[in-house]
Structure 1
């Protein structure tokens, strides 16, 4: 996979900070945007969370909107890659893969006390940078494409009822997963969310 655009930018501008520092800054930024959104996040918040000064942030990323772009791209790419690896390199059944993916998501969201970065910021992103809205729709489409592979395999293995279309199963999975983004804000604990996941999967894989 080609290096992230922000790493290329580091070399072009001959930044003194290491790529690892900027990698960590993006990870910190993802958490910040998940928790606070775009409008409620200040440059000072970014400085405090990343450990980079204002000059370093502006030099490497540009504006706050540019920093959001970098965080969104990292978040989407990481999510797709982790799902692809889970499907391609796992001896788990399709149901176990789906459970592992959903469990990991709710554990992460519950740890951060925030929902999906894309879901939480989609409307605002489209106003700030319309191309980000297009990018996120491409992310949704790509994720559904990967999930179709999983559910096609499940149907071939008769783990999924023959009358269930893999496209529809993928769409239902996406709707449920993004719904968890709201559930995580009111669930008393992660165990409660996992019970909801188990119930959903029991219905999908009877």
Structure 2
């Protein structure tokens, strides 16, 4: 198999299996789920990834890349801190159906499952979560320096609340099959950003 063909095969496996891992979890995803979905043999799967954990890691990276790209695009598209914070909320609002159909937030799913079983995946989830928090904190502090955001706002605390609201909204909507709950939470969070954080004249 040529390198290019091998990479195409790996890409196809990841794109096919990533939603399965996200929906069923690492523990509950059987090898038969993977072979049935891809149409490949066990040997072909392990020939490309070595073992189930390596495939799961690649799928996790694929799943979170969509959300990371959304953050990067939002930051690049909006010069002001307030617009960055509301823009990211708009991204989640506009892509909620995609995230929901894919099994929910991959970061939250992996963090919950890995808490008891897989320290390696827990550490990966922790690193991504802390990086996300760091990005939010930086945006808030930039806004405080530029006179957009109230100086008394505690950046670390609000970043935790901001992320928890998004993740909690996805969890509530997914568990209750009520997407309205998520959209209401996002709208309330937008209101907080525009009224509690923003300096108005």
Please confirm whether the aligned pair reaches a TM-score higher than 0.5, indicating the same fold: yes
Partner Cα distance (2:133, 2:117) in 1: 26
More relative contact order in 1 or in 2 (CA 8 Å, sep 6+)? Answer: 1
Partner Cα distance (2:53, 2:30) in 1: 11
Q: Which has the higher helix share?
A: 2
Which residue of the other structure, out of 32, 42, 45, is the alignment partner of 1:54? 42
Deviation at 1:158, TM superposition (A): 4.9
Any conservation in 2 of the 1:159–1:205 contact (CA below 8 Å)? no
Any conservation in 1 of the 2:35–2:41 contact (CA below 8 Å)? yes
Verify: 1:85 aligned to 2:64, yes or no. Answer: no
Map 1:75-114 to 2 at 5 A: 75-90=63-78, 93-112=83-102, 114=103
Question: Which stretch shifts more, 181-190 or 134-143?
Answer: 181-190
TM-score, normalised relative to structure 2: 0.79
Any conservation in 2 of the 1:148–1:170 contact (CA below 8 Å)? yes
Coordinate RMSD, CA, aligned = 2.7
Gaps of 5+ in 2: 196-201
Deviation at 1:19, TM superposition (A): 2.2
Any conservation in 1 of the 2:169–2:181 contact (CA below 8 Å)? no
TM-score, normalised relative to structure 1: 0.78
Size of the alignment, in residue pairs? 193
Call closer, same or farther: CA 1:22–1:38 in 2, change over 3 Å: same
Report the equivalent of 1:42.
30
Gaps of 5+ in 1: 1-12
